[in-house]
Amino acid sequence: MIDQAPVFTPEQSASLAAYTTNAHRYDERTRAFQHFRHAIVDALPLRPGDVVLDVGCGTGLCFSMLLEKIGSRGCVLGVDAAPEMVAAARQRAAREGWHNVVVSQAPITEAPIGVSADAALFCAVHDILQSEEAVRAVVDSLRPGAWVAAGGGKWADGWMIALNLQVRALHAPYVADFDGFDRPWRHLERLIQDLQVREFAFGTGYVAAGRTARDPLSRSSADGITGPDRAATDRHA
């Protein structure tokens, strides 16, 4: 029913026009999604002083929400591969005087993270979430028991064809490859224990949250969860 998009790597997704030539319009064009960003950040139970990784941070539209939770003792580490988006994120941090926001320009698999972060946010980064290598690189950079939250768009049930055509049009500027759009958390659920998934807006959006293994050696057991146990981790609203 849905045409297959050409296959891009997550790194190539950072070269979409929305993140390069049109980056200056990104905030205005995606302002309508701000309440979804709030819902995704709210799924991260952060504490003052936490270090949080904002994966594919874009222009930094989640920074203020994260800083509200972690305070001046905490730190936001933003990573994004698109130079124009990183420039906007750095300008935002400078303008607001956020000295505890550090933005790196790199594909997430090559990012110099350098700390064992307390949490990671994947906000509207479908292409990154579809790379098992990228998701694993982020999860491996977190401390044991760290919180992870992800959210964004997804397909509604297949019979809702008209709705899914609208979903495709809405997300096409920001998604290089719609592969996995029926279950965007598919790689995350193999690495995060008890990932809780909540769908909303007739199944066209989701928020997922869970924690890394407290004992990193037990992470491989989450890798092996299949069938009914795996299904039990989903909580559809």
Residue ranges in contact with ligand SAM by CB under 6 A = 10-11, 13-14, 19, 30, 37, 56-58, 61-62, 79-82, 85, 107-108, 123-125, 127-128, 134, 174
Of 161 and 172, which has the nearer Cβ to ligand SAM?
172
C-beta of 126: minimal distance to ligand SAM in Å? Answer: 8
* Closest to 122 (Cα-Cα) out of 48, 189, 217: 189
User: In the complex, what is the shortest distance from the CB of residue 158 to ligand SAM, in angstroms, rounded to a whole number?
Assistant: 24
Taking the alpha carbons of 3, 107, 206, 171 in that order, is the dihedral positive or negative?
negative
| Neighbour count for residue 162 (Cβ, 10 Å) | 8
Residue nearest to ligand SAM (CB): 58
Nearer to ligand SAM by C-beta: 76 or 81? 81
Q: How far is CA 84 from CA 21, 42, 80, 97, 172, in A?
A: 8, 27, 10, 20, 19
Nearer to ligand SAM, 129 or 213 (CB): 129
CA–CA separation, 21 vs 8, rounded Å? 18
Q: How far is the CB of 184 from ligand SAM (least distance, A)?
A: 12
Q: Distance between CA atoms of 122 and 112, rounded to whole angstroms?
A: 17
| Residue 39 or 163 with smaller CB distance to ligand SAM | 39
Name the minimum Å distance from CB 173 to ligand SAM.
9
Rounded Cα gap, residues 82 and 79, in angstroms: 9
